[in-house]
């Protein structure tokens, strides 16, 4: 289970495994020199990659206007959609398998028909979908060791070149609900020490977990 600061739960398709830990994530605006600020904390680079994202929609922006994003990155598709309008009640679901994406688009009447041997890109283009936004991004993931009074953490740094936008996320895993306060405290301390600005306004309540 992944608990976000505003109470959203992200559900990924294709996984039926029971998770032993609770992943708590919080999103931030990141200073451009965050890499340098991480060094005193023993941060270890885990991922360093660059990619170009292409976001698909029709000319009438049917997906964007209905809270759906369809991204193509490095040969892989990702569709995100939000259910529920209230922040605490909303659930953001993620689909990555082309067949599942087509089923979802068909269920909302955004797309008609099936793949029938064609690729998802071809099926989309046949019905008027095209790339309407293209962005060049870099992504780094650092692992931070456990320290006194805090848990191990991961921090993701992303930079969108076209917008010169730096965003990121701190993720901490709690072994049980009893460890959630320590996980939240770990995120708070890291964010304060690194000078990060939160992108959300409320913390998860016990009733949301």
Structure confidence by residue, pLDDT tens digits, 116-165: 767 899 999 999 999 999 999 999 999 999 988 999 999 999 999 988 99
Query: Does residue 171 register a pLDDT over 60?
Result: yes
What value does the mean pLDDT take over residues 174-197? 94
| CA-based nearest residue to 2, from 21, 27, 23, 20 | 23
Give the pTM.
0.66
Return the biggest CA–CA distance within the chain: 57
Return the beta strands (E) in the chain as ranges. 2-4, 9-12, 22-29, 44-57, 68-73, 76-83, 91-95, 130-144, 153-160, 165-174, 197-198
43-102 per-position pLDDT tens digit: 999 999 999 999 999 999 999 999 999 999 989 999 998 765 544 444 568 899 999 999
Q: Is the dihedral of CA 170, 175, 176, 179 positive or negative?
A: negative
Q: What is the pLDDT of residue 206?
A: 40
Q: What is the pLDDT of residue 87?
A: 43
Q: What is the pLDDT of residue 77?
A: 95
Query: What span, in angstroms and rounded, lies between the C-alpha atoms of 16 and 80?
Result: 19
Query: What span, in angstroms and rounded, lies between the C-alpha atoms of 155 and 157?
Result: 7
Domain with CATH 2.40.320.10 in the chain: 16-50+135-208
Query: Does residue 2 register a pLDDT over 80?
Result: no
Query: What span, in angstroms and rounded, lies between the C-alpha atoms of 15 and 23?
Result: 16
Rg (CA), the chain: 19
Task: Categorize the per-residue pLDDT at 21 as very low, low, confident or very high, splitting at 50, 70 and 90.
Answer: confident
Task: Categorize the per-residue pLDDT at 115 as very low, low, confident or very high, splitting at 50, 70 and 90.
Answer: confident
Instruction: Answer whether CATH 2.170.120.20 is correct for domain 16-50+135-208.
Output: no
Query: Does residue 24 register a pLDDT over 70?
Result: yes
């Amino acid at each position: 289970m992944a608990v976000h600061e505003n109470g959203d739960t992200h559900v990924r398709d294709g996984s039926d495994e029971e998770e032993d830990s609770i992943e708590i994530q919080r999103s931030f605006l990141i200073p451009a020199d965050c890499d340098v600020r991480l060094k005193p904390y023993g941060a270890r680079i885990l991922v360093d990659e660059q990619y170009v994202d292409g976001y698909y929609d029709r000319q009438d922006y049917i997906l964007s206007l209905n809270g759906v994003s369809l991204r193509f990155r490095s040969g892989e598709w990702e569709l995100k959609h939000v259910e529920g309008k209230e922040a605490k009640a909303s659930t953001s679901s993620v689909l990555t398998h082309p067949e599942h994406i087509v089923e979802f688009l068909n269920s909302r009447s955004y797309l008609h028909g099936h793949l029938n041997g064609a690729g998802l890109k071809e099926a989309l283009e046949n019905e008027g979908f095209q790339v309407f936004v293209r962005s060049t991004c870099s992504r780094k993931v650092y692992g931070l060791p456990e320290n006194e009074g805090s848990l191990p953490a991961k921090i993701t740094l992303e930079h969108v070149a076209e917008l010169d936008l730096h965003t990121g996320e701190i993720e901490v895993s709690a072994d049980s609900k009893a460890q959630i306060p320590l996980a939240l405290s770990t995120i708070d301390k890291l964010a304060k020490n690194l000078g990060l600005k939160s992108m959300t306004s409320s913390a998860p309540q016990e009733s949301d977990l």
